[in-house]
Each structure stands twice: as structure tokens, then as C-alpha cells.
């Protein structure tokens, strides 16, 4: 029982900091004799509170969400997916490649 407690604490801490807590928790559950499917379900359910709390905790560090595309001058939002994708930015579309510029030289 102490083995599972230590594995759970270590697994939860690892999952909250870097993810991958199942790397410790799942083998520990299988080692004590729980069938693999039950161990997988138990491990996923056990790590859920830690995942949710770490996501809420790190949310403050990330800052406020920003829009994917800036609004157009008329107040409408761009929809590049509706027309098949976004066009290249003006700086990229107007630049010539180095090979064509040097060959004209």
C-alpha cells in the first residue's frame, strides 16, 4: 500500500509539472496485480484532478487569450478558411527570390 501511495504522489507531481505521470502510475498499478485495462482506467481517472488544477494554475502565466486573426478595418473578421486558406503576407508575396534577383543582375 505504501508503494502505491508513493507512486501516486510521484505520478501526480510529475503530471502537474511536465505531463507524463502515467509513466510511473500505470506500471505501479500493473505491478501490484491490477489488470491492464482496469489499471489504465484507474490511472487516467486518478490523474484527472491534477491535470485540471495544473491547467488552471498555469493559465495565469499564459495571459489572456488573443484572437487568431486581427479584425479587418470594416469590423468584419477575416475568414481565410472559407476561401481556401490565407494568402501570403504582402512582404512575402512581393519579394523576389535571391536566385532570380541575382540572375537579372
pLDDT digits (tens, 9 = 90+) for 12-54: 788 777 778 888 889 999 999 999 999 999 888 887 887 788 7
Residue in 61, 13, 8, 9 with CA at minimum distance from that of residue 39: 8
Model pTM?
Answer: 0.50
Q: CA angle, corner 10, sides to 5 and 14, nearest 5?
A: 150
What is the per-residue pLDDT for 43? 86
pLDDT digits (tens, 9 = 90+) for 60-72: 777 777 766 666 6
Residue 13, all three cell numbers? 507531481
pLDDT digits (tens, 9 = 90+) for 54-101: 788 877 777 777 766 666 665 555 555 555 665 556 655 445 555 555
Amino acid at each position: 500500500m505504501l508503494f502505491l501511495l508513493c507512486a501516486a504522489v510521484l505520478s501526480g507531481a510529475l503530471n502537474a509539472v511536465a505531463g507524463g505521470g502515467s509513466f510511473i502510475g500505470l506500471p505501479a498499478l500493473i505491478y501490484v496485480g491490477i489488470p491492464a485495462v482496469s489499471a489504465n482506467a484507474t490511472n487516467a481517472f486518478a490523474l484527472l484532478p491534477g491535470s485540471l488544477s495544473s491547467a488552471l494554475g498555469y493559465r495565469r502565466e499564459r495571459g489572456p487569450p488573443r484572437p487568431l486573426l486581427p479584425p479587418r478595418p470594416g469590423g468584419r473578421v477575416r475568414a481565410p478558411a472559407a476561401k481556401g486558406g490565407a494568402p501570403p503576407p504582402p512582404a512575402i508575396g512581393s519579394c523576389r527570390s535571391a536566385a532570380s534577383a541575382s540572375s537579372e543582375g
